[in-house]
Amino acid sequence: MAAAPTRCPGLSWLRLTAVLAAMAVVAGACGGDAESGSPGEGGTEPYELVLVGSQTGAASVVGLAGLAGYQTVFNLVNEAGGIDGHELEWVVLDDQSSTTVASAVAQEAVADDPVAILDSAISTYFNARLPIFSSARVPVFTGNATSGALQPWLYSTNVTPSQNADAAAAMAAGVLDGSLEGKRVAFVGTDTPSVSAAVPIVEENVEDEGGSVSSVEFRPPDALDFTSGAANVVDSNPDAVVIFDINAPLVAQALISSGFEGPIVSNYGAATDIDFETVDSPQYFGQRFVRQAAPGTEMLEAAERFGFADAATASTHFGNSWAAAQLLVEALRDCGFPCDDHAALLEATDSIGTFEVPGDVTFGALNVSADVHNTLTDFQLFQWDPSSNSPVEFGEPIETNPPEYD
């Protein structure tokens, strides 16, 4: 691989959130800034991968959780002897939650010409990389939400804007006794491309169900106050508020402080146990496409073993990325070593069809084909339960509409 950052054995065992000093020492010793995974041993060549994400900056909660999900799965694979004896080797590139850096690390990632790239970031930084990824056509696997276009080289264990928007109407109906007829729904979202793209679809879907959108408010990703926005929402007199924001607890607390007494439902971006504990109100509901890495789960046990427990429990993006990594591993098993022909990996992935993700992560099997690259099929609503001080399942799993690509 050309111009790859130096790979140092064992760095994947370091905790992303608590080893800055150690990482600086190792990076200096190895002559590079990128974190690396363990290479294959015993002379057996490894599969070479590149991981890209927001390790630092405003979007690091999402980025670190996703990167931890990928690396936990890859460490499990290597611990079990690799794929037919071939281990997984990777480097991690940090976009620093910056669109400028996001583009630069995308160039660095594709210059390596790896077997595959795995990405973990919010849509602002992920979208900054898309033109470069599209030109290179290296297979990309991600737990990120993606744009509305079907890209033959891109696979996601998350949703398109239309699926996200469809889910918003279903979530609102779910917390309003199953119907939006005559109901008013307010929408609050992070000011990102994917959320902005979802708004017109949310409005149309709510209206199709007999309701109306009372107000729409956007919060910049780095804004730490939502007082005025909350006042605007409350003044619109909604029956429920739907939030698409990685800092939904901040929004929910501002709404409650402003006197809103109805249900507040967040999408998957802020539906972890920590998010529920932060809001600490039965008004707060959250959507999960994947299960939380909670005590007693295979995900958390593995994350603890490899030093990623904090990142795993900070965001459900850990589960999305766990699922994406497992999907890649399944495709590599089918493709065989070295699988360095990108077309061969794409064909192997498209041929998987229905895939039960190891680790009891999703609420339904993934579905992948040449025509379906956004692979989730079901989601579950949770509600904060004060009696148990924990989120509990609310209602039955809700089917996700198939992706409709541009």
> For the chain, which domains are there?
11-159+293-368 (3.40.50.2300), 161-288+378-399 (3.40.50.2300)
Query: For every one of its 406 residues, what pLDDT tens digit does the chain have, with 9 covering 90 and above?
Result: 333 333 433 333 233 333 333 333 223 323 234 455 654 444 589 999 999 999 999 899 899 999 999 999 999 999 999 999 999 999 999 999 999 999 999 999 999 899 999 999 988 899 999 999 999 999 999 998 777 789 999 999 988 877 878 889 999 999 999 999 999 999 999 988 878 888 998 999 999 999 999 999 999 988 899 999 999 999 999 999 999 987 899 999 999 999 999 999 998 878 888 899 999 999 999 999 999 898 999 999 999 999 999 999 888 889 999 999 999 999 999 999 999 999 999 999 999 999 999 999 999 999 999 999 999 999 999 999 999 999 999 999 999 888 888 7
Query: What separation in angstroms does the CA of 329 have from each of 65, 78, 82, 205, 288?
Result: 19, 11, 10, 37, 23
- DSSP per position, 219-234: E-TT----HHHHHHHH
What pTM was computed for the model?
0.79
For residue 303, report the phi and psi dihedrals to the nearest 5 degrees. -60, -40
- DSSP per position, 30-97: HT-SSEEPPPP-TTPPPEEEEEEE-SSSTTHHHHHHHHHHHHHHHHHHHHTT-BTTBPEEEEEEE-TT
Strand ranges (E), 222-349: 240-244, 264-266, 284-288
